Amino acid sequence: MPLRSYLNGRVFGELADGPGPLMVGLHGWGRDHRDFSSALSEYPRLLIDLPGFGVSPPPATTWGADDYASCVAAVLDEHAPAEPAVVIAHSFGGRIAVCLAASRPGMVRAMVLCGVPLLRSPGAGRVSAGYRLARKARRMGLLSDRRFEAIRRARSSDDYNAASGLMRGVLVRVVNESYERQLAAIGCPVALLWGSGDRAVPPSMVERARGMFAAPVTAEIVEGAGHDVHREAPDRLRVVLDKVLQMPGSVPWC
């Protein structure tokens, strides 16, 4: 299916119309709209290449999740769906989803969040003594730039090492965000779908975050699945999606 252009070519997405609520897929870091193509193939859907991924150009400045949420809201305003959308989001996309649901409550009917870092992990951003020593040695001319870069890459995530320029700044900004305020403002039904073997965002995140939502929340852990639970268990995702649409606070699906 060919991609459509939104916001004067600043965002591209795959749109499939049909009966029932529109499913909006927000992919994780380093992915694109195809991340949800299989799981949502039978639904009316808008699958977006978030700015800086796929064929959508990067933002002009270092965005945080709130900025991305405003962009997604603008795409939905331009598309003008007849009723609030259901947002299905993975990892980085889930950061955006909670900001969207908190800031534009009339736009989001329900959410399914998969492996999303909703709260900042204890100790995140803490710099080790060894790394501080390496920085000092570099400033003093005792450590070459090449050796320092090797040390930096060894302690950085694969996503950070793969990113460059402005998008590296976006990554640094969002990984230092935490969404307690947004969770407390969300009123639509929410489903949390996690893999038991998720090493990027461990299942303990589910228990840490679920009590912070103002909305009704259901949670399911898929045994044996990892961080890509939405791709490893698409059937479970569809079951959870149907379930969240029947939760209190959600308009019946007709």
| Burial (Cβ within 10 Å: 0-12, 13-18, ≥19) of residue 150 | exposed
Q: In the predicted model, what is the mean pLDDT of residues 201-225?
A: 95
Mean pLDDT of 75-95: 94
Domain regions of the chain by residue span:
4-120+177-244, 129-162
Task: Summarize the confidence of residues 83-110 as an average pLDDT.
Answer: 97
Res. 253 pLDDT band, cuts 50 70 90: very low
> At 239, which amino acid appears?
V
What pLDDT score was predicted for residue 252? 43
Across the range 161-179, mean pLDDT stands at 90
What is the rounded CA–CA span in Å between residue 243 and residue 237? 10
User: Distance between CA atoms of 213 and 187, rounded to whole angstroms?
Assistant: 8
CA gap 14, 107 in Å, rounded: 19
| Alpha carbons 64 and 171: distance in angstroms, whole number | 8
Supply 40's token pair: 């949502």
Q: Give the SS3 label for residue 64.
A: coil
Query: Which residues have C-beta within 8 Å of that of residue 129, sequence separation ≥ 6?
Result: none
Res 143: pLDDT: 73
pLDDT (0 to 100) of residue 188: 95
Point out the least confidently predicted range of 108-112, 185-189, 236-240, 242-246: 242-246
Instruction: Calculate mean pLDDT across residues 23-30.
Output: 98
Distant-in-sequence, close-in-space partners of 77: CB < 8 Å, separation ≥ 6: none
| CATH architecture assigned to 4-120+177-244 | 3-Layer(aba) Sandwich (3.40)
Alpha helices in 92-179 (DSSP H): 92-103, 129-139, 145-155, 158-162, 165-175
Question: For 141-170, what is the mean pLDDT?
Answer: 74
Whether the CB-CB separation of 58 and 166 falls below 8 Å is answered with: yes
pLDDT in tens, 120-149: 875 555 556 665 676 766 787 777 877 766
pTM of this prediction?
0.87
pLDDT score for 82? 83
- Are 102 and 186 in contact by the 8 Å Cβ rule? The answer is yes
Predicted confidence at residue 185, as pLDDT, reads 96
Residue 32, pLDDT above cutoff 50:
yes
Q: Is the pLDDT of residue 158 over 80?
A: no
